[in-house]
Amino acid sequence: MERSRQIQLERFSGTRIHCNAQMTPRFIKKHCDLDAAGNRMLELVTDRLGFSARTYNRILKVARTIADLGESEHIREEHIAEAIQYRSLDRKSV
């Protein structure tokens, strides 16, 4: 967990952002590189479930954090899948 936090501090060094949750769309575009499978999955789920741009960005932020926990430079399909599951759990608890 500490390594993930360190990765984020290094990533956003010199900016007003300190963690993935604070990323603006510009930073999301810059720092949320998806592999092909992850991109396909996110596009498919977004189309099927009608995610808004805000939800899409939230999923990317969570997936970026999951990838950081695994010290992965790129967001992979499994990171997207896990982020979507967390969103589903969050929606059920409301």
pLDDT at site 1: 83
Tens digits of residue pLDDT in 55-78: 999 999 999 999 999 999 999 999
pLDDT at site 3: 92
Instruction: Report how far residue 44's alpha carbon sits from residue 77's, in angstroms, rounded to the nearest whole number.
Output: 12
Architecture of domain 2-92: Orthogonal Bundle (1.10)
Distance from the first to the final alpha carbon of the chain: 27
Q: What are phi and psi of 47, to 5 degrees?
A: -65, -45
Max CA distance (Å), the chain? 38
All structural domains of the chain with their residue ranges: 2-92
Contacts (Cβ under 8 Å, ≥6 apart) of 24? 17
Which of these, 34, 88, 94, lies nearest to 60 by C-alpha position?
34
Low-confidence ranges of the chain (pLDDT < 70): 89-94
Are 87 and 62 in contact, with CB atoms under 8 Å apart? yes
